[in-house]
Amino acid sequence: MTQKEYKKNVELLNKYAYHYYVLDDPITTDEVYDKLYHEVLAYEEKYPENIDPSSPTQRVGDVASLSFTKAVHLSRMWSLEDIFNSEDLQKWLEKVHRLSDGISFYCEPKYDGASLNLIYENGVLTRAITRGDGVEGEEITQNAKTINSIPLTINHPGRLEVRGEVVIFKKEFERINEERMQSGESIFANPRNAAAGSLRQLDPRITASRNLVFLPYGIGENDLEIGRLSKRMEYIYELGFRAPPERALCKGFDEIEAFYQKMNTERDDYVMMIDGMVIKVDQIEAQEEMGYTVKNPRWSCAYKFPAVEKITTLKDIVLQVGRSGAVTPVAVVEPTPIEGVVVERATLHNFDEIDRKDIRIGDKVIILRSGDVIPKIVKVLTHERDGSQLPYKRPTECPVCHSELLDEGALTKCQNLTCSARVVNAIIYFASKPCLNIDGLGEKIVETLYNEGLIKSVIDLFSLELDALLALEGFKEKKSQKLLDAIEGAKGCECWRFINALGMEHIGEVASKSLCGHFGLGFSEATKEELVAIDGFGEEMANSVLEFVRVNGENIRILEEILTPVEPAQKADVAENPFKEKTVVLTGSMSESRGKIKIMLEELGAKVAGSVSKKTDYVIYGDDAGSKYDKAVALGVATITEEQMREMLA
Ligand code: IVH
């Protein structure tokens, strides 16, 4: 094969793959494809210096990495406001029309998967970053490259961010779960979890085996001059991405509602799971004018499909003891498939709810599953009773430690602070993702460590020794060392994670971040007045913090000493500078990534916004700045170059 022939063959392979994975319209057989693939591979082994980055051989990474690196998005990845019925739609449209008129709406399915951001530089896929919290995600480029519907190269100069959803088709989801069941692994609850889990595999070969599919839904950073979203998306599909099964440009309420009804009746026939329809203002200029709330674009919303109900039988009611001691009943139902997911458990909230609905074991019940909400029992079919269903008796003792329960009606509590369920759940929570995020320290391992007497509290985690772990069944050297390293890695965590990990009642991730922002580690000395003064903090939350500190002061101190959490730079500490407390917008390409410049400015006390408005203090622009620059000029907002910004700081 000459170099010229090699190039031709790579092109041909990509054409075959495009027809197969993107158009769903194969133009050759597996055999022909495989033969050519191996010829191309043989050529590349001989002339590695000639390897084309678009060659399909470049998809298969075979080196597992140790961890993912965090990556800041060039611009924020937003979430969507949900609407649920035609009244909501009417109201949403009124709101949108007040902000801008003469607009139309681009409608497409809302895919149920995991968001992914692809960055192409001069036509080559250079980075793929998961959504994460919208500002910062994880770089999983090697894994993304294994997804055949993600082009490795595109015919577009400059930088382009393509955003979309990674999904697993329904059939593939069933196949994977079947396989996992046979090999005794836990099954995925739904295609969304399966997609997200498959994307975050340290070994790209596992990701490759899951047959993930990428469906683009938007564009981040770009230099496109196209003024309509629908046209922009057509351009993206032309670059080699998969188009949605259905899309439409709708003018107003009637057209949107009709398209939504059509999609809802047809969704069972779709190869992928969808949970609604996304509506987006088509005119890019209007989008920019409307801007964003703290969480969502004002120019888009997700019109969710109605939840799905099924009839099943309640087989049992089991009890769960949470880390706060709250005992909650959980319904075990006859396994029932709803929308591609087999439901076996449903929430019952609390014992009052059981009484109120007179739920009895053996009853026929209607369960409801809507999107990502845990299924619940919505109705008991009492007319189906045959006399064998007896009223449910509330428990009086803890199912785990057998101490007497405190029954406060809606809330039933095990008051034994050393109840093993409470302790174990507190440790699991401590290690979980939004807390210290200790990899490998999940439910099973915590239970084992606790049952074997190696840990009695979170503090004991930090004096675990290798020899003790090796003595446990199933703990090989590698696994044990990995666990110890992960625990060690929690030291120096961000301050808010430390606060969240304490597990104070009513204090979740958002409240922990606020506490950390206001007081840092000094939160434990905050007074009630100071606590209730925090935005979003009420009396109950403040009392919870004070009570927790009162009871656990000594443990907080010990943990703080072990973990040495890192406090964020306090705004007050930021030295005076021209950008302190100013709102700035970045646009165009700069000498380093805008993500980095954003962090630098934020450290200087600036607020970096995504769109230009009258409130913007500065638009800082690089090469090829586009509409944001024009808008700044139109609004009379100060515009400065990256160099001028640096001079102002010098
Ligand atoms: S647009 C600017 N379109 O839903 C708007 N999102 O609830 C950003 N999603 O994080 C999202 N299908 O992961 C958009 N056709 C679609 C979508 C879609 C699925 C996901 C996406 C996003 C989440 C927002």
Would you mind telling me the total number of residues written for the chain in this entry?
Answer: 650
**CA 300 – ligand 1 centroid, Å:** 9
Residue with tokens 């596992």: 206
Pairwise CA distance, residues 254 & 478, whole Å? 61
Task: Name the 3-class secondary structure at 492.
Answer: coil
* Measured distance CA(619)–CA(636) in Å, rounded: 10
Distances (CA, A) of 107 to 74, 181, 388: 26, 38, 51
Angle 191-199/170-182 helices, nearest 10 degrees?
Answer: 80
- Distance, in Å, from the CA atom of 578 to the CA atom of 574, rounded to the nearest integer, reads 11
Q: Can you tell me the distance from the alpha carbon of 347 to that of 357, in angstroms, rounded to the nearest whole number?
A: 13
CA of 276 to the centre of ligand 1 (A): 10
Q: Is the CB of 110 under 6 A from ligand 1?
A: yes
* Whether residue 108 has its Cβ less than 6 Å from ligand 1: yes
Ligand 1 atom 13: the closest Cα is on which residue?
115
Residue with tokens 């045959």: 386
Which residues are within 8 A (CB) of 480 and not within 5 positions of it... i.e. 6 or more apart?
A: 466, 469, 470
Could you tell me if the CB of 276 is within 6 A of ligand 1?
no
Question: Is any atom of ligand 1 closer than 6 Å to the C-beta of 165?
Answer: yes
DSSP output for 551-595? HHHHHHHHHHHHH-PBPPPPGGGSPP-TTTT-EEEEESB-SS-HH
Spatial distance between the Cα atoms of 44 and 53, rounded to a whole number of angstroms? 11
Distance CA 341, CA 364 (A): 20
Q: Which of 7, 110, 456, 598 is catalytic?
A: 110
Q: Which residues, 6 or more positions from 256, have their beta carbon under 8 angstroms from its beta carbon?
A: 89, 93, 105, 107, 250, 279, 303
Pocket test for ligand 1, best of 82, 278, 288, 301 (most atoms within 8 A of CB): 278
Distance 80 CA to ligand 1 centre (A): 7
Q: What's the confidence (pLDDT) of residue 371? A: 54
Tell me, what's the pLDDT at 416?
92
User: Distance of CA 393 to CAs 331, 354, 357, Å?
Assistant: 14, 10, 14
User: Whose CA is closest to atom 21 on ligand 1?
Assistant: 115
Is 322 exposed, middle or buried, given 0-12, 13-18 or 19+ CB atoms closer than 10 A? middle
Distance of CA 332 to the CA centre of its chain: 28
Three-state helix/strand/coil letters over 315-379: EEEEEEECCCCEEEEEEEEEEEEECCEEEEEEECCCHHHHHHHCCCCCCEEEEEECCCCCCEEEE
160: β partners: 120
CA distance 514 to 534: 8
Q: How far apart are CA 395 and CA 399, in angstroms?
A: 8
Neighbours of 303 (CB within 10 A): 25
- Hey, what amino acid is at 59? R
Q: Which domains does the chain have, with CATH numbers?
A: 3-59 (1.10.287.610), 75-302 (3.30.470.30), 308-412 (2.40.50.140), 420-489 (1.10.150.20), 495-563 (1.10.150.20), 583-649 (3.40.50.10190)
pLDDT of residue 437: 94
Asked if residue 275 has its Cβ within 6 Å of ligand 1, the reply is no
CA of residue 159 to ligand 1 center, whole Å? 21
- d(CA 111, CA 242) in angstroms, rounded, equals 13
Which residue puts its alpha carbon closest to atom 24 of ligand 1? 79
- Computed from CA positions of residues 17, 23, 26, 30, in that sequence, does the dihedral angle turn out positive or negative? positive
- Provide the 3-class DSSP secondary structure of residue 200: coil
CB atoms near residue 537 (< 10 Å): 20
Q: Is the CB of 297 inside a 6 Å radius of any atom of ligand 1? A: yes
Which residues are paired to 364 by β-bridges?
Answer: 313
Q: What is the C-alpha separation between 343 and 337, in angstroms, rounded? A: 6
What is the block-wise mean pLDDT of the chain (650 residues), using blocks of 10 residues? 96 95 92 94 96 93 79 92 95 93 95 96 96 92 96 95 95 83 72 89 90 97 94 97 97 96 89 94 94 90 88 95 93 87 86 90 88 76 93 94 89 91 96 93 94 95 95 92 95 94 90 88 92 84 94 93 84 79 88 80 81 88 87 92 91
**Which residues, in sequence order, are bridge partners of residue 629?**
none
For residues 4 and 10, give the distance between their C-alpha atoms in angstroms, rounded to a whole number: 10
CB 590 within 8 A of CB 602: no
- Angstrom distance (rounded) from CA 159 to CA 589: 8
**What is the DSSP code (8-state) at residue 270?**
S
Measured N-to-C along each axis, helices 3-17 and 30-46 cross at an angle, to the nearest 10 degrees, of: 140
Please report, to the nearest 10 degrees, the dihedral formed by the alpha carbons of residues 81, 85, 88, 90 taken in order.
120
Contacts for 466 with CB less than 8 Å, ≥ 6 apart:
480, 481, 484
DSSP result, 383-410: GG--S-PPPPPPP-B-TTT-PBEEEETT
Q: Is 303 in the pocket of ligand 1 (CB under 6 A)?
A: no
Ligand 1 contact via 106 beta carbon (within 6 Å): no
What atom of ligand 1 comes closest to residue 131's alpha carbon? 10
Token code pair at residue 146: 């294994």
CA–centroid distance, residue 394 to ligand 1 (Å): 43
Contact predicate 204/145, CB 8 Å:
yes
Three-state secondary structure call for residue 112 = coil
In sequence order, what are the residues at sequence separation of 6 or more whose Cβ sits closer than 8 angstroms to the Cβ of residue 424?
A: 446, 447, 450
Q: How many CB atoms lie within 10 A of CB 140?
A: 24
Decide if 607 is catalytic.
no
What is d(CA 28, CA 16) in angstroms, rounded to the nearest whole number?
7
Please give the structure tokens belonging to residue 226. 């196209």
Chain-centroid distance of CA 249 in Å reads: 28
Tokens 């950008």 locate to 579
What's the pTM? 0.59
290 and 281 Cβ atoms separated by less than 8 Å: yes
The two beta strands, 583-587 and 114-121, are: unpaired
Structure-token match 């709250």, residue found: 326
Mutate to test the pocket of ligand 1, among 78, 83, 112, 115 (most ligand atoms within 8 A of CB): 115
State whether the beta carbon of 79 lies less than 6 angstroms from ligand 1. Answer: yes
pLDDT for 417: 86
